[in-house]
Chains A and B, each alone.
Chain A
């Protein structure tokens, strides 16, 4: 986790809010550093984590996690982390006969518009309160990287929204846990993606949007992060709902600074 981002979001591993959906989105840049932040953040907070990894392999997240001070291998072995490695599991879906109950990625085989019930069932099973153990005292967390890939795999935007809806009902409302999901913003090119992004934005409590700089690539400033707090518990909390910072990604951390105040240009 990145301590500077924790400061901006006003959170620490001990005091994270419960029952919240955090939406990560990136436009013209790579926002996966936010996924790594939240993965290491919740593992350090000793929460039970279910990670649906649709774009990268386990070893990729493990290597980055080690730089941030967490070991995914150890977390998986002690039962704190349930990792769905879609890149590996998808091969099994195609080359094995379908079994009952349906596999989480069963939608890959279906020709018509599918729903994500088996994936939801997998998440529900992974995060249901277990039989004791210190990890179950903290609220569970679901991370998804990323949802735009599901659209590319033939799932409709409404089906993905339904999947997130059910996950919210179970993870956030019933189990008082948190959810983090990444969606790419393709601009105005993809209507289904826009529908997914808008629909998720309306369901989210916190939106972190990583954008490339409007002026292009820069060696010292890699992008801009916009933070939007929504659905505050107090309706009067309208002030300071939106903040914008610029950032630079380094080997083991990300540094944030106010717009135009990069240390490289001061």
Chain B
């Protein structure tokens, strides 16, 4: 499903994290889009144009229009070169584009927009962007790819964007292998989940893979132990029949049975076989008085 993300249309949210960054996947999807003949407009707020175009060949670069909002997004230089209205103005201008060809809009990144503009404004602009294609009347579709850094936002903005998005791709992985968890919301259908392992080749082509090798998969749910711990024990786990009978017939020392009662009664008139010899020494204080005398019991 990862390769057909763009064919499904709508807003595609790429959620990445510090450990698993999403810009390479964004560039790979942009490359796919250009190979389908679409023009790609990139709203670049986070990296320079030179860094973004690195790795693309000239065919792809010709089809990618980079709106550079990295150099001066807040108009600090006051030279008049900055885009009027800043990044949001540039995004709104994209809403008004009347290009009849199918286009893809890549937002690098949505996080930058969310940090600088209210969430509701960003969501409204995205909604307009997605629907302007279907309202044009000529059937051209607008794909919007938005890169979102998960750790920077609270559950509110993340939830709002999730609701707007048709497809959500969350990046993750294990050691050396990247994965994309894809959540696809079809209208009037239940959402479908899929996890796709992939890697990105140096020319930004997508290489879809099967899961990682089994031995590196962290499986916490297996309860069957690979080694039987009951071998090579220094003690018995089971009793033989004879041992069981001996154990059952054993009388516990403080268990008062009738035999014990008889033994005690018989032994009373006889002298105890053991004596306690006590030699008080100099420091002992032998008080003949009973210390419990003053108790009223």
A residues contacting B by CB (< 8 A) are 19, 115, 117, 120, 158, 161-162, 165-166, 169, 173-174, 194-195, 198-199, 201-203, 207, 228, 230-231, 233-236, 238-239
Contact = CB atoms under 8 A, between A and B. Distances in A.
Contacts of B88: none
A238 B21 CA distance: 11
A198 B116 contact: no
A198 B51 CA distance: 21
A165 B149 contact: no
B48 A238 contact: no
Contact of B204 (A166, A207, A235): A235
Most buried by B among A115, A195, A239: A195
A169 B201 contact: no
B21 to A, nearest CB: 6
Contacts of A233: 54-55
Contacts, number: 69
B115 A158 contact: yes
11 contacts: A19-B51, A120-B76, A162-B74, A165-B70, A230-B21, A235-B24, A235-B55, A236-B200, A236-B201, A238-B177, A239-B176
Given A165-B73, A199-B111, A235-B24, 14 more contacts: A115-B74, A117-B76, A169-B48, A173-B48, A174-B71, A198-B151, A199-B115, A201-B18, A202-B111, A230-B18, A235-B27, A235-B201, A236-B201, A238-B178
A173 B50 contact: yes
B152 A202 contact: yes
Nearest to B200: A235
A21 to B, nearest CB: 11
Interface in B57-75: 70-74
B149 A198 contact: yes
B199 A236 contact: yes
A188 to B, nearest CB: 12
B181 interface: no
A195 B54 CA distance: 28
B152 A198 contact: yes
A207 B28 CA distance: 25
Contacts of B21: 202, 230-231
A184 B172 CA distance: 26
Interface size class of B (residues with CB under 8 A): 20 to 34
B23 A231 contact: yes
B46 interface: yes
A73 B224 CA distance: 67
Interface string B163-205: 0000000000000111000000000000000000001111010
B199 A166 contact: no
Contacts of B115: 158, 161, 199
A162 B48 CA distance: 15
A158 B152 CA distance: 11
A207 to B, nearest CB: 8
B70 A169 contact: yes
A158 B118 CA distance: 13
A76 B199 CA distance: 48
Contacts of B27: 235
B76 A166 contact: yes
Nearest to A191: B154
Nearest to B46: A203
A159 to B, nearest CB: 10
B280 to A, nearest CB: 54
Contacts of B51: 19, 173
A27 to B, nearest CB: 14
Interface in B81-115: 111, 115
A158 B76 contact: no
Point out which of A169, A195, A203, A231 has the most chain B C-beta atoms below 10 A from its C-beta.
Answer: A169
What are the 6 tightest A-B residue pairs by CB atom distance, in nearest-first order? A198-B151, A173-B48, A235-B24, A235-B200, A201-B18, A202-B149
Given A158-B116, A161-B115, A236 B202 contact: yes
A173 B149 contact: no
B19 to A, nearest CB: 8
A131 B47 CA distance: 29
Given A117-B76, A166-B76, A236-B201, A198 B71 contact: no
A57 to B, nearest CB: 30
Interface string B235-269: 00000000000000000000000000000000000
Nearest to B116: A158
A174 to B, nearest CB: 8
B111 to A, nearest CB: 8
B119 to A, nearest CB: 14
Contacts of B48: 169, 173
Nearest to A162: B74
Contacts of B76: 117, 120, 166
Nearest to B173: A238
A195 B152 contact: yes
A74 B67 CA distance: 44
A244 B201 CA distance: 27
